[in-house]
Amino acid sequence: MLRVLLSGPAGSGKNTVAKMLLKEFDQFGYFSAGDVIRDHIQRGTEFGQRISSFVRKGELIPDSIINGVLLEEIRHAGNKLILNGYPRTLGQVRMIEEVAPLDLVVELRGKDDITGEPLFKREDDAAEVVGRRLEVHEKTESKVVDYYR
């Protein structure tokens, strides 16, 4: 069993690194909280409808709303897994450690050396939303990495 969390701010290259790792280590599965969230929103599920306003604003989805859905997905994802985007809070850390403990946390800080700008942007990245996601990362996700140090 090996579960690896890729952590980092928006645009740090988590998806790119995950794809490279999966190509090299094909026995691993991949879990992206963002992919699951966007899929639910696109399909218009009840969960997707509940979380869409948080996502549009770049806000963190409360643990009470997100934990159940994401933990259920992780339970079925296999024992060798690369995770991206979950856990993002200390409350989520407590939940995942009960259900599917992490073995390794890798913090990515992908910034352009010259401009300091994020290296990658998604099509749905509006400047104000990215800014908000960076603030959220600094306030919450950095504590997750500190927890695992």
- pLDDT at position 54 is 95
Q: Quickly list H helices, 11-136.
A: 14-24, 33-43, 46-57, 63-75, 90-99, 127-136
- Of the candidates 114, 113, 134, 116, the one whose C-alpha atom is nearest the C-alpha of residue 125 is 134
Rounded to the nearest integer, the mean pLDDT of the chain is 86
> Whole domain around residue 91: which residue ranges?
2-148
- pLDDT at position 115 is 56
- Quick: pLDDT tens for 57-94: 888 999 999 999 999 999 888 889 999 989 999 999 99
Task: Classify each residue of 131-144 as buried b or exposed e, where b means 16 or more C-beta atoms within 10 Å of its C-beta.
Answer: ebbbebbeebbeeb
Q: How confident is the model at residue 33 (pLDDT cuts 50, 70, 90)?
A: very high
Predicted TM-score (pTM) of this structure: 0.78
Q: For residue 41, give every residue at least 6 positions away whose Cβ sits within 8 Å of its Cβ, in sequence order, or none.
A: 48, 49, 51, 52, 55
Domain count, the chain: 1
**Is it the case that residue 128 has pLDDT exceeding 70?**
no
- pLDDT at position 30 is 94
106: CATH: 3.40.50.300
